Chain A
């Protein structure tokens, strides 16, 4: 172990030239498990794999190996993206291409391994083979990179995801990791690194799209003695899990990105700010920091360059607003996470009033590749204004879901129809929701829209941090907007009035729109009719006058839904009808007299005694009493209850 560490540091990281001698490459190939004499079994183990049961599958494989006294190595990797394939198991037999098997739960492990080791592969579990140069091909098995999920992606940030053991620093170095950092601290000055990143045109991936290199330069040129770097890993939009997957699958790359960024601004301490609940990611990052310190990549006077750096992990104590950069700084200082007035911007006066650069996970993970391949290379990917790629967490009602990375300039339609493979169960497509609670909807007519900061901005659509939720016809847009507004009302910090009061008022009006109109106080009916107009008014005031991005963007889902689905709002208000049958207050139930057997099951369960009838005769529902809870609908064994 000690020898390998010495080898990695001296022969790889500190080697003078970019091209390593052949004997070094040979060792690295072994570390990468490219030349193995024994079979290697890889099991993915990100959060989504663990939820799908990968830990149990791992134990089952371990048991199988022990019971059969097999000579094989077993490796846990990160997620490679497709959440539908989890738990994903890859098997590499010596000299042959890697095989990918999907949905290998505990009970499928034994038949699978029996099959693979006796050349009788079950086609049903097979997802494909990996085409690697110099390995024997499997005949009649499709290549995984030709699968539409992968074929339309371009992997720069995620190139290591799912390929290596996120607990092994040696493997990361063998995949040319940390070499960009070692090169930067030995060959470049602070300004030069900033310059390279600025020339590459890398823009902040958290949604704003500000030039990263420019931001770094602003902090560097303040002339202050101390500067800080903060990695914002507080991704807490409901339905976004890109950062979490990146952190779990490739923790070392983030450490390298942070190290280069800290060097570029001359910061000697960096913070990673984690969301609560991503424990797996936090453990892996903590481990990665410890290993990097052991290898001398962090600490005092790194490789005699005169530069020192330490990275500290901080856990977010649970407030959505902490994702806003000035609120985040307040939290790190041990205060309430409330945003500050800008300017001064954090790059001039941030953490402890010192210049502070805050970057998100994906932005920082782009940095090592740019440093290694140069800014010109980065411009060959993506569009002119937005070079590079963008990572999305595709979720919702698509056939495929998971984390995907596409080249900038890819139309939204490609992600929806090719990568996510359309809508589940053949339902109709309604919209794609981009950017989480403060994002917008993209409807069928806008699907040609390209993933690009400028193009999207022109259309008034924020790209967000990577949420990509596919919505089908079974979702009620009014209810969805209400859900987002409820989230925002709960998360508004209360510092500025437009946001604190605006979110509450908007929620009240939205709730009155979907509530059943019985026992209404005098004002509520009128309020409902004025609903949409009042909502529009509040929305524009909030947008113009809120202190931070949370309040300014809180009305976005509503504005966008109203623009695209106005008739649905009007239907709720005037016709008292919810076309998706989601809004409980607007549902009316009735009993089909031909199907009802008079079993009394529904009448006995009705919480408001709205169902009457005589035993063994058809029952009926008194509409005025019914609250639309739907218990009778769920309980009826004869499908006699219909909903309108």
Chain B
């Protein structure tokens, strides 16, 4: 059909083929992050995980998980979380390390400080150390996709905890707290304590953290159903206690009639509480999220009223158990995405809470 005569015809056809190629990519992941960094990863030196794109994977060459296969991946589990300044992440790291050591692995604990670039470098470290698995509480639901993919291509399975990424099929497990469910629990308690009406302030978490959005949406799904609940101010304090303190100070000066404060996490709730007390406002209803020891103590002292416990310790241990299972059998036995419910903590159960673990 192609003949030299129909020049516009040919152009149309070329255009057609061009568009076909363009749209052929339509069904695949819209992952635009650059993968150039992964091209530098040498696959030749890593002979153990050939062909294990995650599904059928051959188990570790030696059945004894404590021994090191020569020339194969090491017996090392790399644990990467945000900074341990927040005890939540320290608990995750401790929980994971303890379980890993219990199962006979060596561990390397690193922090990315919520910086995707640093996270990327740490993944590179895990790759160069030929880690057997990575346990990761990540630095960004989109930014992390490429990093986890890079590790996967290098034969290292990743087990994500606490925060999801916006893509499946790359990490082996994503064990996340049901932040939305927890946020709704806290908001329901908040609304109840507020008598379903009054002015309130919301402190948001770090913009880049998907959990900040998830919790805020959870809060609002509940609170916005009560027209007498009025949000007089909504600001981010970036998960920081000191920032929450100073933001709260300004908000107090601008708003005389605050009945409640709902904070995206416990450290911000602590900062807000301190600012309110410093201003002599002792009857404001403050609630947080995480289940930290600080807030537990505050609840028991009658200050902060409630929080949602994220089972950080449990989730970290689950991730390591699943990594171990995966390395030994090629499968975790569970779905990739797993939601673990949060528990509402109030005066009723605060005394049973310690280090993000609620005892029976």
Q: Do A and B bind each other?
A: no
Interface, chain A (partner B; CB < 8 A): none
Q: Residues of B at under 8 Å CB distance from A?
A: none
